[in-house]
Structure 1
Amino acid sequence: MSDHELSARTNIFGLRLWVVISICAGTGFLLLFLLSLCLSLMRKNASSRRTTATIPVTSKEIQEVRVDPSQTSAVVTSPRSVKQKEDESPVVVQKARVASPERGKSEEGGSPLGKRPTDQAAAVPAEVSRLGWGLWFILRELEVATDNFSDENVIGEGGYGTVYHGILEDGTQIAVKNLLNNKGQAEKEFKVEVEAIGRARHKNLVRLLGYCVEGAQRMLVYEYLDNGNLEQWLHGDVGPSSPLTWDIRMNIMLGTAKGLLYLHEGLEPKVVHRDIKSSNILLDKHWTPKLSDFGLAKLLGTGRNYVTTRVMGTFGYVAPEYASTGMLNETSDVYSFGILIMEIISGRRPVDYSRPPGEVNLIEWIKTMVSNRNTDEVVDPKMAEKPLSRTLKKTLLVALRCVDPDSQQRPKMGHVIHMLEVDDFPYQDEHRAGRIGQPYSNSPQYKVRVSARQVTEPGDNSTKSEI
């Protein structure tokens, strides 16, 4: 096309042809840019959608128990208070630097979840490089994965810090716990979680994939579970009917119990979780439970039955002997698990001040309902199909044994699993019951006579209930 033709005026406002062509081209480029921007936003929204039903929203605030060593009673701290652990010297984790900004493929060309490149491994100080079980993430990588730790990606908050949902460049979904750096608390939290579950592998424990140590930042990277936590499904807005059927609830109880059994008996040193509660039970799309948040965990070496420590945990779940003396062992987790069973069955919180006076404390309310032979009324009203009366009574009895005020009378987690799985418990004779675990009749505080299927209180010779 000649210059004369390009300079000729057109019928469009008398503009020259080259002006019209320029306007059309510019408009086309602008439309393409807007279209690509819309597609990018749509892809981001689609990747962040849940693969299951909408997870109910519940409060992110966590109430924690802190006991002054000079006192014997537990008090509730403010909901967002930072967890104060044992007075121990802070762990020194040296500042790590990376030689290359790229972390992904190993020398063999492995996937991003493979080994660290050798140049990075050499750049990491000894204190960090010893954590060879997992990946070492750089801060920039986690910032990109979580959209610079945006509020939209927050999936959990508490005294320990904030948990964000993230997506790595290879599409792997992760949960990033950004630990609060409050007077060395992040250092302690980092060390405890790494020592407790860094090398642990169990289907009912959340897997710790790796960590980030950069400057003052201490972050832990976990596998991402897309169905939220148990607290959301028990106490969140799930509508008139809960998707948690009795079978699902039983599987959650058993899976959690098996995870605890692994911590108590499958590891050396054994681990006491110390913060068993519904918000720390994460669920995958198949409702498989996984224990999480090991920031308060304690390690018990061989031959150690107890460890004396500052009392920490969540109000309503803490064992009475631990709250009063600070003496901690596996039975403290068993007590918390008993509370969890009651919470799963009833759909009620361990302590709920919005309820009538006789129903505020979940344990006392359950005992009253069992004594009055009203066990069927204990079941969560949002559960569409109620369990068999026999199965319900058996599960309640297991819960009551777990919360025995005498810690020595509580069953071990292996016994708890057996009692939840067998069909004839508690309708067995005393001899057989003794092989499963010490019968409740030995408890001076609260007795359950298995053979007579009766519950009695100390100092009361009358029959309180038939279970």
Structure 2
Amino acid sequence: MKQVDNSTLWSWCLTGLLVILITTPGPVRSQPNDRNSTLFTADCSQYKGMNEEYLLRNLNTTLSSLRHQLSTNSVPYATARSLLNGDSVWGLASCRGYVSSADCVACFNYAVVQLRSCGFSNGAYVFYDDCDIRYENYNFYAESRARGGSLQCNNETSTQQAEFRKTANELLSDLRIAVPRTSNFYAASTRGIAGGNVTVYAIGQCNLNLSQSGCVQCIDSRYTTLDSCLPGSSGRSMDRGCFMKYSTTPFFRQDQTMNLTPLLRDGDSSKKRAIIGGVVGGTCFLFLVLAFFLWRTSKNSSSSQIDKSTGSTVLLQGPTRYSYDDLRKATNNFSPHNKLGRGVFGEVYKGAFKNGDTVAIKKTVMTSSRGKIHIDDELKIICNVHHRHLIRLVGYCSKGPFLFLVHEYMDNGSLDMFLYGDKSRNLSWRQRCEIIFGTARGIAYLHEQYHVTIIHRDIKPSNILLDNELQPKIADFGMIRLLPEDKTHLSTKLLGSLDSAYVAPEYAIHGQLSEKVDTYSFGIVVLEIISGKRCHNTKDEESVNQSLLDHAWNLYDSGTHLKLVDGTLDPSEYGAEEAKKFIEIALMCTQSPVSARPAMSEVVTLISDKSLDQMPPVRSAFDEDEVKIQVGETLTSFSSNSTASTIQISAH
């Protein structure tokens, strides 16, 4: 590969980033406001070792994805990861809770420009008053240790120094307690100085990648540090995981404050606490003795395995365990009237608990040779997956050979019903685009953003459910992990239960499993969403039955792939170039060899950033040579569509 000097690479990267910042739609200020124009601190990691060109291309892609989330989803917190040439860049962006969406994006833009001062570095962070950005070439999301703290104080003091110090310290102390107890790790409040007209404004915030205990440690450290600023009129202290600030000058609106009282500790006297503590301590000691005895007489906890395929489950929170009687009552004794359907992994019932919660209960048979410990560990992994576009596992129940999985319930059912079922023809073009984008984000999270890589293996419309806003949620992810060990690999029984039209050829023929198996299935699903047709077969103008994939390739080769768009859609709903891009991305996802397919994080970037170029998909020269395999009693054909080209995320 041709060597390129660092300055040229940085020029490419910054040019690409600036183009993205300028051309991406959304409310972006021409100049930063007074707050976010003040750089707090910046730091650059000095370690190297990554390929410089791919590092910068990864960085470009990651930052672009972060900005898209902040601007399109109007969220104050975003994470992203890109993967090119075997190297990754993890990124995190966070805005303060009082900052508007427009100011958040504006602050992010200027923080990105500030990264230029780092030169070539495998990691860096930039802190403004209103936002911060960090990127590394490793997964730093779980870090909670306080590192790299900075402090800035204003030495101008109030005429009521003693009262000011006391009031400000009490406010910061309350925030220190309240912040880790809020749902978004953010709190803002004010406090007036007794006998004066001065008001103290203060906030505290932790990044959402921290655990609650990590937030407590981080914000405690910032609170202690800020004490050295008092009785100065303002101070701010940051760490790579949290931020705290106070000032006599308003920096958020009065209607953005919150009542901290419900979040604070109770007001019991030290005497009462001592009495209660003694009673509770004695009781706890007895329970500890009893628990130790029960633990010794039950299972050996050391049998819990930790390996590369599952990751550590020690720190994960387990799912709620329901009794069989609870589920029986919720489903009216598993009445046929409550049955929603049957899938690869068993029957699904609609259930309603006494508290009013409606759930979907999947009943499946478990005969795992790896036993209960394996099932518990796998359920713990699955239930800790939290993403907007993934169905949440609420809890489970084990009875005899049956395992019941309790999931959140989706009123609108599955995508296939909207494409070609009872609810067909109800999806607009914009809704279809949002379903494609949301599904891509969900799969990318499973592949690259969760601490364990989860390959779904059965991506299809019936496993994509729609919420009340017709946003997609992927179901049945991780289910394959619950199968007995001897059935988790490719087998006639397993493959026969999957819908062969969505299965990647290398998995169906050779049993080669990778994340790109899901990428292939996603490409097929996109073609179905765009066309409103089933993937199994379609008819071209010559009335020749063929798969939807072959039909799409034929149209693409002739330059008429716009004809694939569902004819029931009004052409005024969509742009021709946008429709072509979706079809081409779908075809890219189905290319062979496997290396030619983009990673799902790259797919997300291609969909979200119109300024990024993509390599055109190339159909294999061996397209007519179909590989036939026997699946159970059904003869299924797979076309070996392939290409030698790869996706390119340009940093130019």
* TM-score category (smaller protein): 0.5 to 0.7
Deviations 1:345-374 (A, max 9, x none): 011111137888634301110011222333
Structure 1 letter corresponding to 2:337: E
SS in 2 for 1:348: coil
* 154, 163, 167: which one aligns with 2:339: 154
Asked if 1:367 corresponds to 2:553, the answer is: yes
Q: 1:205 to 1:457 in 2, by over 3 A?
A: closer
Q: State the one-letter code of the partner of 1:403.
A: T
Q: 1:145 to 1:346 in 2, by over 3 A?
A: same
Structure 2 residue 178 is the aligned partner of structure 1 residue 178: no
1:336–1:223 Cα change, 3 Å: same
Equivalent AA in structure 2 for residue 264 of structure 1: H
In structure 2, what is the equivalent of residue 346 of structure 1?
A: 531
AA partner of residue 609 (structure 2): V
Specify whether residues 186 and 205 from structure 1 end up closer, same or farther in structure 2 by C-alpha distance, changes over 3 A only: farther
CA distance in 1, matches of 2:337, 2:361: 14
- Which residue in 1 is equivalent to 2:395? 210
Note the 1:441-460 alignment, pairs <5 A: none
Indicate the SS of the match to 1:341: helix
User: Distance in 2 between the 1:373 and 1:285 partners?
Assistant: 37
Deviation track 1:80-118 (CA, whole Å, cap 9, x = no partner) reads xxxxxxxxxxxxxxxxxxxxxxxxxxxxxxxxxxxxxx9
Task: For residue 321 of structure 1, report the CA deviation from its aligned partner.
Answer: 1.1
Q: Provide structure 1 residue ranges, at least 5 long, that are not aligned to the other structure.
A: 1-117, 300-306, 447-455, 460-467
Match of 2:595 among 408, 414, 426: 408
Aligned counterpart for 1:278 among listed residues 441, 461, 465: 461
Does the C-alpha gap of structure 1 residues 251 and 162 become closer, same or farther in structure 2, counting only changes over 3 Å? same
Q: Distance in 1 between matches of 2:317 and 2:549?
A: 44
| Equivalent position SS for 1:177 | strand
Q: Is the 8 A contact 2:619 2:643 kept in 1?
A: no
**Residue matched to 1:139:** 324
Which of these residues, 387, 399, 409, is aligned with residue 574 of structure 2?
A: 387
Maintained 8 Å contact 1:227/1:282: yes
Question: 1:309–1:326: 8 Å Cα contact kept in structure 2?
Answer: yes
C-alpha root-mean-square deviation of aligned residues, in Å?
3.7
- 1:458/1:414 Cα in 2 relative to 1: closer, same or farther (>3 Å)? closer
Answer whether contact 1:272 1:330 (CA < 8 A) is retained.
yes
Any conservation in 1 of the 2:620–2:642 contact (CA below 8 Å)? no
Contact 1:136 1:212 (C-alpha < 8 Å) held by counterparts: yes
The Cα of 1:332 is off from its aligned counterpart by 0.7
2:385 and 2:481 mapped to 1: Cα distance?
14
Which residue number in structure 2 is paired with residue 378 of structure 1? Answer: 564
Name the one with the larger strand percent: 2
Instruction: Tell me, yes or no, if the aligned pair for 1:193 and 1:294 is still in contact at 8 Å.
Output: no
Q: Choose which of 587, 597, 608 in structure 2 pairs with 1:421.
A: 608
Q: 1:326 aligns with which of 502, 511, 514?
A: 511
Report SS of the residue matched to 1:415. helix
Farther off after superposition, 123-132 or 350-359: 123-132
Alignment deviations for residues 189-221 of structure 1 (CA, whole Å, 9 cap, x no partner): 966962552211111110000000123331000
Pairwise mapping of residues 261-272 of structure 1 onto structure 2 (< 5 A)? Answer: 261-272=444-455
Deviation at 1:339, TM superposition (A): 0.5
CA–CA separation in structure 2 for the residues paired with 1:253 and 1:148: 37
Distance 1:188 1:371, change over 3 A: farther
Q: Which letter maps to 1:389?
A: A
Letter matched to residue 371 of structure 1: D
Residue 259 (structure 1) aligned with residue 446 (structure 2)? no
Give the C-alpha shift of residue 285 in structure 1.
0.7
Whether contact under 8 Å (2:319, 2:379) holds in the other structure is no
- 1:396 corresponds in structure 2 to 583
| 1:250 partnered with 2:436 | no
Distance 1:227 1:250, change over 3 A: same
TM-score where L is the length of structure 1: 0.59
The alpha-carbon deviation at position 413 of structure 1 amounts to: 0.8
Contact map agreement 1:409 1:443 (CA 8 A) in 2: no
Larger relative contact order (CA 8 Å, sep ≥ 6): 1
* SS in structure 1 of the partner of residue 348 of structure 2: strand
Query: After alignment, is 287-296 or 325-334 more displaced?
Result: 287-296
Tell me, yes or no, if the aligned pair for 2:591 and 2:618 is still in contact at 8 Å.
Answer: no
Question: Residues 2-21 of structure 1 correspond to what in structure 2 (within 5 A)?
Answer: none
Relative to structure 1, the CA distance from residue 193 to residue 279 in structure 2 (aligned partners, 3 Å threshold; closer, same or farther) is farther
Aligned residues: 313
- Paired letter, 2:426: P
1:28-58 Cα deviation digits (max 9, x unpaired)? xxxxxxxxxxxxxxxxxxxxxxxxxxxxxxx
| 1:308–1:444 Cα change, 3 Å | farther
Residue 235 of structure 1 deviates from its aligned partner by 1.2
Question: Which secondary structure does the structure 2 equivalent of 1:170 belong to?
Answer: coil
Measure the CA separation in 1 of the matches of 2:582 and 2:448.
Answer: 23
The answer to whether the aligner puts 1:337 opposite 2:522 as a matched pair is yes
The secondary structure found in structure 2 opposite 1:279 is: helix
Distance 1:137 1:197 in 2: 17
Paired residue type of 1:164: Y
| CA positional deviation for 1:423 | 2.3
Segment of structure 1 superposing worse, 176-185 or 213-222:
176-185
Task: Tell me, in whole angstroms, the C-alpha distance in 2 between the residues paired with 1:341 and 1:251.
Answer: 11
Q: Hey, what's the Cα distance between the residues in 2 that align with 1:362 and 1:186? A: 42
Partner AA of 1:227 in structure 2:
N
Higher mean C-alpha displacement, 253-262 vs 131-140: 131-140
Contact 1:173-1:223 within 8 A present in 2 as well: yes
Distance 1:187 1:345 in 2: 43
Aligned residue in 1 for 2:544: 358
Q: Offset at 1:338?
A: 0.5
Q: Deviations over 1:158-217 (max 9, x none)?
A: 232111111100001111001135787998996696255221111111000000012333
Comparing 227-236 with 380-389, greater Cα deviation is found at 380-389
- Distance, in Å, in 2 between the alignment partners of 1:404 and 1:286 is 32
Q: CA 1:401 to 1:199, structure 2 compared with 1: closer, same or farther past 3 Å?
A: same
Confirm whether residue 289 of structure 1 aligns to residue 472 of structure 2.
yes
> If the length of structure 2 is used for normalisation, what is the TM-score?
0.43
Return the letter of the residue paired with 2:437: L
From the superposition, tell whether residues 192 and 138 of structure 1 become closer, same or farther in structure 2 (CA, over 3 Å): same
1:243 aligned partner, one-letter code: N
- Please give the secondary structure, in 2, of the residue aligned with 1:293: coil
SS at match of 2:501: coil
Task: From the superposition, tell whether residues 243 and 200 of structure 1 become closer, same or farther in structure 2 (CA, over 3 Å).
Answer: same
